[in-house]
Amino acid sequence: MEISTLTTYHCLAFVWYIFITYSITHVRTEERPSEVFLYGGQWKYLTVLNLFVSISFWTLYTYNRELVYPKSLDGVIPLWLNHAMHTAVLPFAVLEILAMPHRYPAKKKGVILLGFVAFLYISWVLWIYSVTGEWVYPLFALFSPAGLAAFFAGSLAVIISFYNFGEFLNRMIWGDSIAILDYRRKGK
C-alpha cells in the first residue's frame, strides 16, 4: 500500500478510535444503570482500553449476554456504539494485517509483553472488585477463586493464540517483505 494511503488509513482509524472514546464518555449519565458504571466508569472495561475484543465479546454475548453486556445497557448505549466497540474493530484489525507487513518482536519478548499487559488488566479488574465488591463483568461472579484463575489463564492462552495467528497471517501474506524492509533500512 502506498505511504500516503497507509497514512490516511491510520489517521482515519485513529480518528475513529477517538470518536468512539468520545461517544462512550458522552453516553447520557442520567440513564446509566448505577450498578454498571461503578468505580472506574467505562474505563474499567477492556473494550475502552483495547478495542480488539470482537470474538470474545460476541461469543460470550451469544452464550449469555447478561455475563458481558446486561440488557440494562440497551437503553443507554446506542446499538451503533455497541457495534462500533465490539464489531467494527475486527475488520480494522484484518485491514491492518492486509495493509502492510509488521515486524513482530522475538517470540519470547512478544509473549512476555502480552503477559505483562494481561497482568495489568487483571490487576485492574481485581482492584475494582476489592474496592466495590462488584465484578467488572458479571461472568466473573460465577467462578470460584480457582475457577477465576483458570479463566484468566485460559484467556491468556487465547490471547497468545491470536498473537501467534496474527504473526502467521503476517508471514503468509507478506512473506519475506519484512526482511527486505529491514535490509533497506540498514543499507541507508
Summarised one tens digit per residue, pLDDT across range 38-58 is 555 555 555 555 557 788 888
Residue of 98, 81, 100 lying closest to 16 (CA atoms): 81
- Which of 100, 126, 159 finishes a domain? 100
For residues 80 and 107, membership in a common domain is answered with: no
For residues 83 and 32, membership in a common domain is answered with: yes
For residues 114 and 147, membership in a common domain is answered with: yes
What is the predicted pLDDT for the residue at 75? 81
Percent with pLDDT over 70 in the chain: 80
- Which of 78, 100, 122 finishes a domain? 100
Work out the mean pLDDT of the chain and round it to a whole number.
Answer: 80
pTM across the whole model:
0.70
For residues 108 and 95, membership in a common domain is answered with: no
Which of 30-34, 62-66, 77-81, 113-117 is predicted least confidently? Answer: 30-34
For residues 12 and 73, membership in a common domain is answered with: yes
For residues 119 and 42, membership in a common domain is answered with: no
Number of residues that make up the chain:
188
Residue 7: domain span: 1-100
Helices (H) and strands (E) counted in the chain, each on its own, are 8, 0
CB-based contact 42:90 (threshold 8 Å): no
In the chain, how many domains are there?
Answer: 2
For residues 6 and 48, membership in a common domain is answered with: yes
CA distance 74 to 62: 15
For residues 88 and 113, membership in a common domain is answered with: no
Residue of 110, 117, 125 lying closest to 163 (CA atoms): 110
What is the predicted pLDDT for the residue at 178? 60
Residue of 42, 62, 59, 66 lying closest to 162 (CA atoms): 59
Which residue, chain included where needed, has cell 462500533?
84
Give the pLDDT confidence of 78-109 residue by residue, as tens digits. Answer: 889 888 888 888 888 888 888 888 889 999 99
- Which of 100, 116, 140 finishes a domain? 100
For residues 51 and 113, membership in a common domain is answered with: no
